[in-house]
Structure 1
Amino acid sequence: MSRLLRHAALAGLALLVSACAEGPSRPSGGGGDGRLDRSTTVPESGAAGRPTSSVLEQLKGLSTAEIERRFGPPAFRRADPPAEMWQYRTRLCSLDLFLYRQPNKSVTVSHAAVRGPTGAPVGEPECLKAVQSARAGEN
Protein backbone atom coordinates (compact mmCIF):
# COMPACT_ATOMS: atom_id res chain seq x y z
CA MET A 1 0.00 0.00 0.00
CA SER A 2 2.78 2.42 0.88
CA ARG A 3 4.48 1.79 -2.48
CA LEU A 4 1.26 2.68 -4.31
CA LEU A 5 0.93 5.90 -2.30
CA ARG A 6 4.53 6.85 -3.06
CA HIS A 7 3.99 6.23 -6.77
CA ALA A 8 0.80 8.32 -6.75
CA ALA A 9 2.55 11.12 -4.84
CA LEU A 10 5.47 11.17 -7.30
CA ALA A 11 3.11 11.19 -10.27
CA GLY A 12 1.23 14.11 -8.73
CA LEU A 13 4.48 15.94 -8.06
CA ALA A 14 5.62 15.41 -11.67
CA LEU A 15 2.33 16.82 -12.95
CA LEU A 16 2.59 19.79 -10.58
CA VAL A 17 6.16 20.56 -11.67
CA SER A 18 5.15 20.21 -15.31
CA ALA A 19 2.10 22.44 -14.87
CA CYS A 20 4.09 25.12 -13.04
CA ALA A 21 6.76 25.08 -15.73
CA GLU A 22 4.18 25.70 -18.45
CA GLY A 23 2.78 28.86 -16.89
CA PRO A 24 -0.79 29.66 -15.89
CA SER A 25 -3.36 26.96 -16.47
CA ARG A 26 -5.97 27.30 -19.16
CA PRO A 27 -9.30 25.55 -19.38
CA SER A 28 -9.00 22.28 -21.22
CA GLY A 29 -11.17 21.77 -24.24
CA GLY A 30 -10.69 18.01 -24.01
CA GLY A 31 -13.54 17.20 -21.65
CA GLY A 32 -11.49 16.44 -18.54
CA ASP A 33 -9.34 13.55 -19.77
CA GLY A 34 -6.55 14.59 -17.37
CA ARG A 35 -4.11 15.63 -20.12
CA LEU A 36 -2.49 19.03 -20.30
CA ASP A 37 -3.94 21.46 -22.83
CA ARG A 38 -1.56 21.57 -25.81
CA SER A 39 -3.44 24.29 -27.70
CA THR A 40 -0.39 26.58 -27.49
CA THR A 41 1.69 24.29 -29.74
CA VAL A 42 2.35 25.26 -33.32
CA PRO A 43 -0.75 24.13 -35.22
CA GLU A 44 -0.05 21.79 -38.12
CA SER A 45 -3.04 23.10 -40.06
CA GLY A 46 -2.10 26.74 -39.53
CA ALA A 47 -5.35 27.46 -37.63
CA ALA A 48 -4.43 29.53 -34.57
CA GLY A 49 -5.29 28.06 -31.20
CA ARG A 50 -6.41 24.71 -32.61
CA PRO A 51 -5.11 21.70 -30.62
CA THR A 52 -2.71 19.47 -32.52
CA SER A 53 -1.13 16.11 -31.95
CA SER A 54 2.02 16.60 -29.87
CA VAL A 55 5.42 15.83 -31.38
CA LEU A 56 6.46 15.03 -27.81
CA GLU A 57 4.20 11.96 -27.97
CA GLN A 58 6.90 10.41 -30.18
CA LEU A 59 9.25 10.38 -27.17
CA LYS A 60 6.92 8.32 -24.97
CA GLY A 61 8.18 4.81 -24.39
CA LEU A 62 11.76 5.52 -25.47
CA SER A 63 14.45 3.96 -23.30
CA THR A 64 17.26 5.87 -21.61
CA ALA A 65 19.71 4.57 -24.24
CA GLU A 66 17.46 5.76 -27.08
CA ILE A 67 17.10 9.20 -25.47
CA GLU A 68 20.87 9.53 -24.98
CA ARG A 69 21.51 8.46 -28.59
CA ARG A 70 19.09 11.15 -29.79
CA PHE A 71 19.94 14.01 -27.40
CA GLY A 72 23.12 13.03 -25.53
CA PRO A 73 23.42 13.15 -21.74
CA PRO A 74 20.99 15.49 -20.00
CA ALA A 75 22.14 18.80 -18.49
CA PHE A 76 20.24 17.89 -15.32
CA ARG A 77 19.17 14.50 -13.98
CA ARG A 78 17.20 13.75 -10.83
CA ALA A 79 16.21 10.32 -9.55
CA ASP A 80 13.30 9.93 -7.13
CA PRO A 81 12.47 6.23 -7.48
CA PRO A 82 10.44 5.04 -9.24
CA ALA A 83 10.72 8.25 -11.31
CA GLU A 84 13.58 10.06 -13.00
CA MET A 85 13.54 13.57 -14.45
CA TRP A 86 15.94 14.48 -17.24
CA GLN A 87 16.33 18.04 -18.49
CA TYR A 88 17.96 19.33 -21.67
CA ARG A 89 18.63 23.08 -21.92
CA THR A 90 19.29 25.36 -24.88
CA ARG A 91 19.05 29.14 -25.31
CA LEU A 92 15.63 28.63 -26.95
CA CYS A 93 14.03 26.18 -24.52
CA SER A 94 14.18 23.41 -21.95
CA LEU A 95 13.02 19.85 -22.66
CA ASP A 96 11.85 17.99 -19.54
CA LEU A 97 11.53 14.20 -19.68
CA PHE A 98 9.86 12.16 -16.94
CA LEU A 99 10.87 8.51 -16.92
CA TYR A 100 9.52 5.54 -14.94
CA ARG A 101 10.73 1.99 -14.37
CA GLN A 102 8.50 -0.47 -16.19
CA PRO A 103 7.56 -3.99 -14.96
CA ASN A 104 10.20 -5.44 -17.33
CA LYS A 105 12.82 -3.35 -15.42
CA SER A 106 13.47 -0.91 -18.29
CA VAL A 107 13.22 2.84 -17.69
CA THR A 108 11.20 4.68 -20.33
CA VAL A 109 9.77 8.14 -21.00
CA SER A 110 6.25 8.58 -19.61
CA HIS A 111 5.85 12.34 -20.14
CA ALA A 112 7.69 15.14 -21.94
CA ALA A 113 7.26 18.93 -21.84
CA VAL A 114 8.96 21.96 -23.39
CA ARG A 115 9.11 25.56 -22.19
CA GLY A 116 10.88 28.77 -23.07
CA PRO A 117 13.66 30.26 -20.91
CA THR A 118 11.25 32.27 -18.75
CA GLY A 119 8.32 29.87 -19.01
CA ALA A 120 7.18 31.48 -22.26
CA PRO A 121 5.49 29.18 -24.76
CA VAL A 122 7.75 27.59 -27.36
CA GLY A 123 6.91 25.28 -30.24
CA GLU A 124 7.65 21.63 -29.59
CA PRO A 125 9.24 20.94 -33.01
CA GLU A 126 11.51 23.99 -32.67
CA CYS A 127 12.60 22.96 -29.18
CA LEU A 128 13.38 19.37 -30.20
CA LYS A 129 15.43 20.66 -33.16
CA ALA A 130 17.32 23.03 -30.85
CA VAL A 131 18.14 20.20 -28.41
CA GLN A 132 19.28 17.93 -31.25
CA SER A 133 21.35 20.75 -32.79
CA ALA A 134 23.02 21.37 -29.43
CA ARG A 135 23.94 17.67 -29.34
CA ALA A 136 25.33 17.82 -32.89
CA GLY A 137 27.41 20.86 -31.91
CA GLU A 138 29.13 18.84 -29.17
CA ASN A 139 30.64 16.36 -31.62
Structure 2
Amino acid sequence: MNNWSINRVVALVIGIIFLLLGIVGFVTPPENSTGVIAIFGLFDSDTVHNILYVVTGLLGIASAFTGWERRFNQVFGIVYVLLALLGVIPQLYFPAGSYGDDKGLFLGLTHMNAGDHILHLITGLIAAGVGFFMKGSVRHPGPNARARQEI
Protein backbone atom coordinates (compact mmCIF):
# COMPACT_ATOMS: atom_id res chain seq x y z
CA MET A 1 0.00 0.00 0.00
CA ASN A 2 2.45 2.63 -1.18
CA ASN A 3 -0.29 4.81 -2.70
CA TRP A 4 -1.50 7.50 -0.33
CA SER A 5 -4.51 9.13 -1.93
CA ILE A 6 -6.09 12.23 -0.49
CA ASN A 7 -9.07 10.03 0.41
CA ARG A 8 -6.84 7.72 2.40
CA VAL A 9 -5.16 10.56 4.27
CA VAL A 10 -8.49 12.25 5.09
CA ALA A 11 -10.09 8.98 6.27
CA LEU A 12 -7.07 8.26 8.48
CA VAL A 13 -6.95 11.77 9.96
CA ILE A 14 -10.71 11.81 10.63
CA GLY A 15 -10.43 8.34 12.15
CA ILE A 16 -7.63 9.41 14.48
CA ILE A 17 -9.40 12.64 15.51
CA PHE A 18 -12.69 10.92 16.31
CA LEU A 19 -11.02 7.99 18.08
CA LEU A 20 -9.04 10.40 20.27
CA LEU A 21 -12.14 12.50 21.04
CA GLY A 22 -14.02 9.36 22.04
CA ILE A 23 -11.22 8.11 24.28
CA VAL A 24 -10.75 11.54 25.90
CA GLY A 25 -14.50 11.65 26.48
CA PHE A 26 -14.36 8.36 28.35
CA VAL A 27 -11.60 9.53 30.69
CA THR A 28 -12.99 13.05 31.30
CA PRO A 29 -15.20 13.22 34.40
CA PRO A 30 -18.82 14.42 34.00
CA GLU A 31 -19.41 18.07 34.85
CA ASN A 32 -22.85 17.67 36.38
CA SER A 33 -25.61 15.30 37.38
CA THR A 34 -26.88 14.95 33.79
CA GLY A 35 -23.69 13.11 32.81
CA VAL A 36 -22.53 15.83 30.41
CA ILE A 37 -18.81 15.70 29.71
CA ALA A 38 -17.08 18.78 28.31
CA ILE A 39 -14.24 17.53 26.13
CA PHE A 40 -11.55 20.24 26.09
CA GLY A 41 -14.30 22.59 27.27
CA LEU A 42 -15.66 22.69 23.70
CA PHE A 43 -17.72 19.59 23.01
CA ASP A 44 -20.63 18.23 25.04
CA SER A 45 -20.45 14.51 25.28
CA ASP A 46 -21.71 11.48 27.18
CA THR A 47 -21.27 7.71 26.99
CA VAL A 48 -23.37 7.30 23.82
CA HIS A 49 -21.54 10.17 22.12
CA ASN A 50 -18.15 8.69 23.06
CA ILE A 51 -19.11 5.25 21.73
CA LEU A 52 -20.20 6.81 18.43
CA TYR A 53 -16.91 8.72 18.18
CA VAL A 54 -14.83 5.62 18.93
CA VAL A 55 -16.74 3.54 16.36
CA THR A 56 -16.45 6.32 13.76
CA GLY A 57 -12.73 6.63 14.47
CA LEU A 58 -12.10 2.90 14.19
CA LEU A 59 -14.07 2.75 10.93
CA GLY A 60 -12.04 5.65 9.50
CA ILE A 61 -8.72 4.07 10.45
CA ALA A 62 -9.79 0.64 9.19
CA SER A 63 -11.02 2.08 5.90
CA ALA A 64 -7.67 3.79 5.32
CA PHE A 65 -5.92 0.42 5.40
CA THR A 66 -8.51 -1.78 3.65
CA GLY A 67 -9.16 0.19 0.47
CA TRP A 68 -12.56 1.60 1.54
CA GLU A 69 -11.37 5.13 2.27
CA ARG A 70 -13.31 6.84 -0.51
CA ARG A 71 -16.59 5.16 0.46
CA PHE A 72 -15.92 6.00 4.13
CA ASN A 73 -15.40 9.67 3.26
CA GLN A 74 -18.58 9.76 1.19
CA VAL A 75 -20.77 8.11 3.84
CA PHE A 76 -19.12 9.94 6.75
CA GLY A 77 -19.50 13.24 4.91
CA ILE A 78 -23.19 12.81 4.21
CA VAL A 79 -24.01 11.50 7.70
CA TYR A 80 -22.06 14.15 9.59
CA VAL A 81 -23.28 17.09 7.47
CA LEU A 82 -26.85 15.90 8.06
CA LEU A 83 -26.09 15.46 11.76
CA ALA A 84 -24.74 19.02 11.92
CA LEU A 85 -27.77 20.46 10.15
CA LEU A 86 -30.32 18.46 12.15
CA GLY A 87 -28.44 19.29 15.34
CA VAL A 88 -29.50 22.93 15.19
CA ILE A 89 -33.23 22.10 15.23
CA PRO A 90 -34.39 22.55 18.85
CA GLN A 91 -37.41 20.26 18.45
CA LEU A 92 -35.09 17.27 18.00
CA TYR A 93 -33.85 17.57 21.61
CA PHE A 94 -35.90 15.74 24.24
CA PRO A 95 -36.60 15.21 27.11
CA ALA A 96 -35.47 18.49 28.67
CA GLY A 97 -32.74 18.04 31.27
CA SER A 98 -32.72 19.20 34.84
CA TYR A 99 -29.38 21.00 34.86
CA GLY A 100 -28.89 24.61 33.85
CA ASP A 101 -29.69 25.26 30.21
CA ASP A 102 -29.70 21.59 29.21
CA LYS A 103 -32.34 21.38 26.49
CA GLY A 104 -32.38 17.60 26.36
CA LEU A 105 -30.74 14.89 24.32
CA PHE A 106 -30.46 14.97 20.54
CA LEU A 107 -33.09 12.48 19.33
CA GLY A 108 -33.31 11.40 22.96
CA LEU A 109 -29.87 9.76 22.68
CA THR A 110 -26.94 12.10 23.32
CA HIS A 111 -25.86 15.59 24.36
CA MET A 112 -24.63 17.97 21.67
CA ASN A 113 -23.71 21.64 21.57
CA ALA A 114 -22.53 24.26 19.08
CA GLY A 115 -18.96 22.94 19.22
CA ASP A 116 -20.18 19.49 18.17
CA HIS A 117 -22.24 20.97 15.32
CA ILE A 118 -19.26 22.92 14.00
CA LEU A 119 -16.96 19.88 14.25
CA HIS A 120 -19.52 17.69 12.47
CA LEU A 121 -20.13 20.27 9.74
CA ILE A 122 -16.46 20.99 9.00
CA THR A 123 -15.30 17.35 9.04
CA GLY A 124 -18.40 16.27 7.11
CA LEU A 125 -17.87 18.86 4.38
CA ILE A 126 -14.18 18.02 4.05
CA ALA A 127 -14.85 14.27 3.90
CA ALA A 128 -17.72 14.63 1.42
CA GLY A 129 -15.76 17.01 -0.79
CA VAL A 130 -12.77 14.71 -0.90
CA GLY A 131 -14.85 11.54 -1.15
CA PHE A 132 -16.98 12.73 -4.05
CA PHE A 133 -14.57 14.95 -5.97
CA MET A 134 -11.04 13.61 -5.44
CA LYS A 135 -10.01 10.27 -6.91
CA GLY A 136 -6.29 10.36 -7.61
CA SER A 137 -3.45 9.17 -5.49
CA VAL A 138 -0.12 10.69 -4.62
CA ARG A 139 2.77 8.50 -5.68
CA HIS A 140 6.33 8.96 -4.67
CA PRO A 141 8.28 7.12 -7.34
CA GLY A 142 11.48 5.43 -6.37
CA PRO A 143 14.80 5.93 -8.15
CA ASN A 144 14.00 3.23 -10.72
CA ALA A 145 10.55 4.57 -11.62
CA ARG A 146 11.61 5.83 -15.06
CA ALA A 147 13.22 2.48 -15.95
CA ARG A 148 10.02 0.65 -14.95
CA GLN A 149 7.90 2.98 -17.08
CA GLU A 150 10.03 2.31 -20.17
CA ILE A 151 9.68 -1.46 -19.89
TM-score (ref. length: structure 1): 0.27
Which of the two has greater helix per residue? Answer: 2
Larger Rg: 2
Structure scoring higher RCO (CA < 8 A, sep ≥ 6) equals 2
TM-score (ref. length: structure 2): 0.25
